[in-house]
Amino acid sequence: MTTNRVQTSPNIVADEGARSAATTFGLNEPIVNCWCEHKRKPATTDYGFKFRLKSLKTTDYGFKFRLKSLKTTDYGFMFRLKSLKTTDYGFMFRLKSLKTTVFKVQDYDKPKPSPEIPDSNECHCGQANLGNRVVGGVTTEIHEYPWQAGISTHNGYLFCGGTLINNRYVITAAHCTRGRSASSLLVVLGEHDTSTDAEAKSVKVGVAAIIRHPSYDTLTNNNDIALLRLNKEIKFDYRMKPPCFTRPGFQYPGQEAVITGWGAVKQGGKVTGTLQEVSLPILPLDKCRQAYGNHLVSENMLCAGLPQGGRDSCQGDSGGPMVWEHKNRWHLIGIVSWGYGCARPHTPGVYTRVDKYLKWIDQNTRDANYC
């Protein structure tokens, strides 16, 4: 399985009962896509802020909110109340009854418990569409991983992968955007077989802006991450919805991850027309450094592969998702970045570690709504 992965020679899940959250939310949706823990009892924190929702009255829009005792922090959080929506650093509240409610919200860099939020029938992050597929197969089911995106030229050349993370942005590898302008790119969503529309009707969306990480290093591939701002909003459905994120600091070595893409299935092979998947164990960084050297493998990276080789991401998979399943939810933990060849013994694939960039992602996607 491959896309144009860069080749070179020798970035925690909440505790039990927790749900994930995101960056911009509607009031009538569940908290998903979060790197924060959620429990029933609020916890005091020196980070973030607290606010009291009091005297809720029915209006044409549902509720009128009066905010009391608002205290901001040095991080400069901001609220925008409009049609039952509030925007801060990415927390959403669903109110089911006319009761006085106190919330305390934490900065996600210092996760603390926060109130449990009732579930709803709205979109949930990280839900794959699993079918009766053959175990160990390499071809995915149609729409099995609905966050999968392809990046192509206007003439249909699909050269990199990506991940739909909210209704406005796709995340990919920075090296996939080198030498390219936003107007030259299309993002393909809901795709399965690029050679036909008979199985799955895909959606092609233009790109309004490319946001590369400011510290992306073209020599070492450190900070190999970029955001593509779409020129229109995406309506989530079974074909197109985002994965969850994990809270920073989780120890991934030993966990099994899944990488998906339209890349080649072997080194030097042709790019496949159908979406492929491969399952690989995540390795300690020291194993990766044994293969590539300390100077090339940073703490911003993850490595995955088998000692004997044989399975890997490859050319054409670049920018695509590395996801990890936890409690029946799939979490975006990596982005296909680089490696030496494909599926060679003792030469694992290298991935951008997504949880190292959550603050950067948040800061650059505040105009979007998460699932």
Q: SS3 breakdown of the chain: % helix, strand, coil, rounded to 5?
A: 5, 30, 60
Q: Which of 88, 224, 317, 355 is catalytic?
A: 224
Q: Identify whether 217 is a catalytic site residue.
A: no
3-class secondary structure, 78: coil
Q: Identify whether 318 is a catalytic site residue.
A: yes
Q: Which of 312, 318, 337, 355 is catalytic?
A: 318
Tell me the two tokens of residue 92. Answer: 């959403």
Q: How many Cβ atoms from other residues are within 10 Å of residue 92's Cβ?
A: 25
C-alpha separations of 59 from 34, 39, 84, 154, 322 in Å:
30, 30, 11, 47, 44
Spatial distance between the Cα atoms of 218 and 127, rounded to a whole number of angstroms: 34
Tell me the two tokens of residue 43. Answer: 């916890």
Is the backbone of residue 346 left (phi > 0), alpha (psi -120 to 50) or beta? left
- Look at the chain and count its residues: 371
Q: Identify whether 175 is a catalytic site residue.
A: yes
263, 326, 279, 329: which is closest to 133 by C-alpha? 279
Spatial distance between the Cα atoms of 203 and 8, rounded to a whole number of angstroms: 33
Spatial distance between the Cα atoms of 43 and 62, rounded to a whole number of angstroms: 28
Find out whether 298 and 222 touch, Cβ atoms under 8 Å.
Answer: yes
Q: Which of 38, 124, 143, 175 is catalytic?
A: 175
3-class secondary structure, 183: helix
Spatial distance between the Cα atoms of 204 and 320, rounded to a whole number of angstroms: 17
* Run of H or E residues at 132: none
Show which residues are catalytic. Answer: 175, 224, 318
